[in-house]
Amino acid sequence: MARILVIDESRQRAVDICNGLIQAGHQVAAVLPSSLDLIGRIEEIRPDIILIETESPSRDTLEHIGVMNREMPHPVVMFSQDGDSTTIRAAVKAGVMAYVVDGFDISRLKPVIEVAIARFEEYQELKHELVETSRKLAERKIVEKAKGILMRARGLDEEAAYAALRRLAMEKSQPLGKVAANVVEMAKLML
């Protein structure tokens, strides 16, 4: 059972959505009339998913979703009447995981939420992998730079310079990347 934050400017539609969510076995965490102060409201409400029903997503709504996606990512499902491809692309770029045209339909609710959650989890995993790969690449560049410094300063070959960095990392009980960064910083001071 997911805790769902419903955002809909229409109170009647919001009631219908809440009833549909309850029938589908979900819990309605809160109902808001707009996405204003979305991050603050998410911190307060702590939903698992955000469901937005709108005729057409406004630029402000998409901006609020984009900020939320950067600072406090959550899966977002959007039901809209607007099938314009530019609008759909803008919504997906902002962080909407499932954009459903032609409005809310109870029969589609459960699979749409499941797709949004699956896409969100996959996206978060890819984002984490990208951050980790970037970190490793940056560390590798620093290690290469430190090796070059040691090779020039001590007249070592590449293998010996790498062994010296590893030995220093073990002696200091620090990661190789940190030791390499320290060597590079010390070399800057010596110039």
pLDDT digits (tens, 9 = 90+) for 135-178: 999 999 999 999 999 999 999 999 999 999 999 999 999 999 99
Is the separation of the CB atoms in 67 and 39 below 8 Å? yes
Predicted pLDDT of residue 63 = 94
Short-list 22, 56, 111, CA closest to 6:
22
**8-state DSSP, 37:** T
Q: 3-104 in CATH: which number? A: 3.40.50.2300
Is the separation of the CB atoms in 154 and 183 below 8 Å? no
CATH level 2 (architecture), domain 130-190: Orthogonal Bundle (1.10)
**Cα–Cα distance for residue pair 169/191, rounded to 1 Å:** 24
Please give the model's pTM, rounded to 2 decimal places. Answer: 0.76
**Cα–Cα distance for residue pair 125/120, rounded to 1 Å:** 9
pLDDT for 20 beyond 70: yes
Task: Give domain limits for the chain.
Answer: 3-104, 130-190
Q: What are phi and psi of 27, to 5 degrees?
A: -110, 135
Is the separation of the CB atoms in 57 and 77 below 8 Å? no
**Cα–Cα distance for residue pair 152/28, rounded to 1 Å:** 65
